[in-house]
């Protein structure tokens, strides 16, 4: 996604100012198509439910709907957005650890799949089924998946030994006795098992473990009712050559592993449940760049700092330590190559977008484009010091403003003065 200086000027004339995000529509569509093809060619029925939390730009959510994908949401805000986007309620999956009674009842009423995370949520669903004996209430259960390998190493995010989401399989027997007593009302049935687990390495082995665990539980406890095996998200996206990850599984590798299990597991092969994946990163990370303008270049104690008008809050609000792929876009091509850090527009020392990169040194008025910033960025950046920047979509070289820069009135519209 290389841009020229004149491209940038064109983009800035659309946004009115820098910084801004650039979303490449074609990449998002290609990720959807390639993921779908990898899985559908190996197993059907199959559904891709896009993880809204990763980047809920309405522009992207609409593409998902147009292409026949589902919405995966984890809050009432996201649920209501999916409805506003025009998704059929039956094509919305409601996950997440905190749902109110009203959230659960509304979603069940609408026929959405609600994957319950804990006993209080199950109690709400069971009580609802008792109150509505004439209705068939279909629920899902999130299953807590252990991901410790043979060497005892846990693959769960941050190397946590135990994850916190869902119903614990270690207590399966007692859990399901309780469940069964709740489920005796025959209008409440478990139709979905959900096993999303955020991992350190996004490896195929993790998905193998998740899929096997879900199929085993389905076969043992819910053989006649499960319609959906949902392995969640957590896949690597297409890898940029400048990223430090090596031997990353491809979409085909993931599909081979997961579908291979569904095609051979006794229960799954005979029941043919719908396989659901909920990709976020793999769908959107490589579709978005962040462009900021150089405001100053200075040397302090022998170190070169290039300050730009955007911040790490825009490009990496989780403050991870990676230097994302980037492009320095200068007015003239004869800049000397130097080692420098790119630092942001806030007042925080740790607001560092790129650390000690070696590249042509830009000057004031030049631009820095940081790529692969589509996941967990603009949904996580508050209007910290500056209002939210504009977003432009690139539709095969034609630019379209899909969010203008936030105004002062918008930032403060719900405050009392
Ligand atoms: C339930 C659920 N599904 C899907 C995802 C998307 O994960 P990723 O963006 O890593 O694909 C997440 C992320 O935390 C999640 O919690």
User: Structure tokens of 36?
Assistant: 């779908």
Q: Which domain holds residue 293?
A: 5-22+286-411
Could you tell me if 198 and 106 lie in one domain?
yes
Q: Which of 6-20, 52-66, 159-173, 221-235 has the lowest mean pLDDT?
A: 159-173
- What would you report as the CA-atom Rg of the chain, rounded to the nearest whole angstrom? 23
Counting ligand 1 atoms within 8 A of each CB, the residue from 51, 200, 230, 283 with the most, and so the one to mutate, is 51
Q: Is the pLDDT of residue 173 over 80?
A: no
Beta strands in 309-372 (DSSP E): 326-329, 337-343, 352-360, 367-370
Mean pLDDT (the chain, rounded): 95
Does 36 fall in a domain? no
Could you tell me if 86 and 136 lie in one domain?
yes
Q: Which of 14-23, 30-39, 122-131, 227-236 has the lowest mean pLDDT?
A: 122-131
Could you tell me if 265 and 407 lie in one domain?
no
Does 335 fall in a domain? yes
Could you tell me if 216 and 183 lie in one domain?
yes
Mean pLDDT within 34-38: 98
Query: Is the shortest distance between the CB of 405 and ligand 1 below 6 Å?
Result: no
Buried b (16+ CB within 10 A) or exposed e, 376-412: bbbeebeebebebbbbbbbeeeebeebbbbeeeeeee
Residue 337 confidence (pLDDT): 96
CATH code of the domain covering residue 46: 3.20.20.10
Instruction: Give the pLDDT band of residue 340 (cuts 50, 70, 90).
Output: very high
Cα of 181 from ligand 1 centre, angstroms: 31
- Closest by alpha carbon to 254, among 233, 268, 274, 280? 233
0.85 exceeded by the pTM? yes
Residue 267 confidence (pLDDT): 98
Could you tell me if 254 and 348 lie in one domain?
no
In the chain, % of residues over pLDDT 90: 90
Cα of 233 from ligand 1 centre, angstroms: 4
How many other CB atoms are there within 10 angstroms of residue 172's CB atom? 16
In the chain, % of residues over pLDDT 70: 96
Task: Give the residue whose CA is nearest to atom 10 of ligand 1.
Answer: 234
Buried b (16+ CB within 10 A) or exposed e, 268-282: beebebbbbbbbbbb
Cα of 235 from ligand 1 centre, angstroms: 9
**pLDDT tens sequence across 367-413:** 999 999 999 999 998 899 999 999 999 999 999 999 999 999 999 99
**pLDDT tens sequence across 207-216:** 999 999 999 9
Could you tell me if 81 and 196 lie in one domain?
yes
Cα of 196 from ligand 1 centre, angstroms: 7
Could you tell me if 322 and 381 lie in one domain?
yes
């Amino acid at each position: 996604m290389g841009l020229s200086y004149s491209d940038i000027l064109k983009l800035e004339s659309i946004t009115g100012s820098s910084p801004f995000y650039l979303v490449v529509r074609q990449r998002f569509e290609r990720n959807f198509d390639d993921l779908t093809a990898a899985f559908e060619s190996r197993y059907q029925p199959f559904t891709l439910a896009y993880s809204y939390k990763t980047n809920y730009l309405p522009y992207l959510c609409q593409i998902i709907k147009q292409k026949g994908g589902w919405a995966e949401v984890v809050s009432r805000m996201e649920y209501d957005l999916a409805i506003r986007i025009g998704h059929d309620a039956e094509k919305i999956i409601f996950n997440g650890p905190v749902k109110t009674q009203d959230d659960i009842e509304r979603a069940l009423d609408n026929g959405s799949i609600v994957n319950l995370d804990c006993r209080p949520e199950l109690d709400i669903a069971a009580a609802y089924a008792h109150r509505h004996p004439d209705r068939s209430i279909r629920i899902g259960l999130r299953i807590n998946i252990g991901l410790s390998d043979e060497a005892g190493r846990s693959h769960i995010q941050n190397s946590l030994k135990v994850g916190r989401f869902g119903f614990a399989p270690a207590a399966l027997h007692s859990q399901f006795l309780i469940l069964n007593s709740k489920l005796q009302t025959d209008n409440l049935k478990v139709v979905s098992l959900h096993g999303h687990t955020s991992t350190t390495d996004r490896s195929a082995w993790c998905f193998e473990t998740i899929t096997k665990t879900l199929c085993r539980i389905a076969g043992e406890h819910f053989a006649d009712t499960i319609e959906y095996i949902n392995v969640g998200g957590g896949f690597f996206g297409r890898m940029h050559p400048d990223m430090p990850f090596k031997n990353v599984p491809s979409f085909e590798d993931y599909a081979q592993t997961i579908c291979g299990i569904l095609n051979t597991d006794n229960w799954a092969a005979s029941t043919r449940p719908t396989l659901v994946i909920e990709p976020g990163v793999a769908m959107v990370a490589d579709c978005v760049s962040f462009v900021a303008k150089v405001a100053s270049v200075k040397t302090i104690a022998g170190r070169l700092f290039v300050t730009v008008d955007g911040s790490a809050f825009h490009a990496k609000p989780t403050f991870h330590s990676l230097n994302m792929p980037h492009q320095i876009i200068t007015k003239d091509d004869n800049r000397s190559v130097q080692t420098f850090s790119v630092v942001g527009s806030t007042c925080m020392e740790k607001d560092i977008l790129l650390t000690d990169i070696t590249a042509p040194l830009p000057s004031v008025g030049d631009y820095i484009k940081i790529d692969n910033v589509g996941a967990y960025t603009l949904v996580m950046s508050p209007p910290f010091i500056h209002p939210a920047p504009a977003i432009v979509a690139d539709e095969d070289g034609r630019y379209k403003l899909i969010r203008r820069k936030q105004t002062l009135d918008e930032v403060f519209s719900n405050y009392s003065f």
